[in-house]
Amino acid sequence: MLERMYRSLYRARRVEEEVARVYPKDKILSPIHLSTGQEAIAVGVCDALKPDDVVFGSYRCHAMYLAKGGDLKQMIAELYGKATGCAKGKAGSMHLIDVPHGVMGASAVVGTTIPQAVGYAMAIQMQKQPRVVACFFGDGAVEEGVFHESVNFASLRQLPIVFVCENNDFAIHSRLNARQPHGDICGLARAHGIPAEKIADMDILKIREKVGQAVEEIRAGKSGPRFFECVCYRWMEHVGPFDDYQYGYRTKQELEPWTANDQVVKLGGKLDERTRKKIESEVEQEIREAFEYAEKSPFPDVNQLYADLYE
């Protein structure tokens, strides 16, 4: 399990580092919201899921997409706006999707995939399938009305869904305590009758254990929806490949405890050096091939402009 999780974690980190490196060259045609420093949440949660389970996410979706098994070549091609992308080059970074691997899509609009995830969970329940939905969103999404409507409905129907709030304390540049009077995100879920747990230390193995237990209880019909608030910190700017400390809304000193607790380094340290280097070498080769694939892929033909539209 450690080797599998390290591969997924290292892969998510390195893919985004390469995206950040390439982005200033104007080859990537999509705005990017990097999840650098937050990858342990997506990897820990998705490792607890089975291939036929599904995930829904927000615009900061790279780690979730990759952790659930999303095709890397198609992801990078999508960022490049190429026809071989996972959405044929029409959607970009904020709308990654890979249905065969259970990535049901992400959205640029805050909170919009939460009701979609609940609807999917209801369909699973109606069809009596032993599957689970995981829904990822940021702390800003819990302030949307649709969040409360959705978790209330999920609780009422006891749906097979895990809500995962990636609480990085910021809605763009606004801190949680400037937006909420008490900041008790788990309390919001509990108010709707959903068991909720806060994981504050970004420990990937703890996330895997806690979520894994919840998923199995849901799958076995012993539990309805569950809620996890995973505290994290956004290392990069809200949107883009750089940092943003020059704006004065946060300081570099705030980042230091999080980089010291880097789960990529910590999990890698649990492997023997030969195994770790082998995993890293294989991932680096995969990333090189994905960017080469994106570079060589064609742009969508103009006759595809109105294709795939719902009328």
Query: Model confidence over 129-176: pLDDT tens digits?
Result: 999 999 999 999 999 999 999 999 999 999 999 999 999 999 989 998
309 domain residue, yes or no: no
103 domain residue, yes or no: yes
Number of domains comprising the chain: 1
310 domain residue, yes or no: no
The residue ranking higher by pLDDT, 162 or 2, is: 162
CB 172 within 8 A of CB 238: yes
pLDDT in tens, 38-77: 999 999 999 999 999 999 999 999 999 999 999 999 999 9
Taking 80 as the threshold, does the pLDDT of residue 311 lie above it?
Answer: no
Amino acid (one-letter) located at 158: Q
- Give the tokens for residue 168: 């990085």
Rounded to the nearest angstrom, the gap between the alpha carbon of residue 146 and the centroid of all alpha carbons in its chain is 19
Taking 90 as the threshold, does the pLDDT of residue 305 lie above it?
Answer: no
- Give the tokens for residue 303: 């006759």
- Give the tokens for residue 124: 């699973």
pLDDT of residue 77: 97
Per-residue pLDDT, averaged over 105-121, amounts to: 95
- State the Cα–Cα distance between residues 184 and 159, nearest whole angstrom: 23
Segments forming the whole domain that contains residue 19:
2-304
311 domain residue, yes or no: no
259 domain residue, yes or no: yes
CB 54 within 8 A of CB 120: yes
CATH code, domain with 197: 3.40.50.970
243 domain residue, yes or no: yes
- Give the tokens for residue 161: 């869904």
Taking 80 as the threshold, does the pLDDT of residue 304 lie above it?
Answer: yes
Per-residue pLDDT, averaged over 197-213, amounts to: 96
Beta bridge partners of 170: 175
Q: How far apart are the first and last CA of the chain?
A: 45
pLDDT in tens, 269-297: 999 999 999 999 999 999 999 999 999 99
- State the Cα–Cα distance between residues 83 and 299, nearest whole angstrom: 5
**105 conformational bin, left if phi > 0, alpha if psi -120 to 50, beta if neither:** left
284 domain residue, yes or no: yes
Give the list of residues 6+ apart from residue 160 with CB closer than 8 angstroms, or none: 121, 124, 125, 131, 132, 133, 218, 219, 224, 225
41 domain residue, yes or no: yes
pLDDT classification of 308: cutoffs 50, 70, 90: confident
pLDDT classification of 309: cutoffs 50, 70, 90: confident
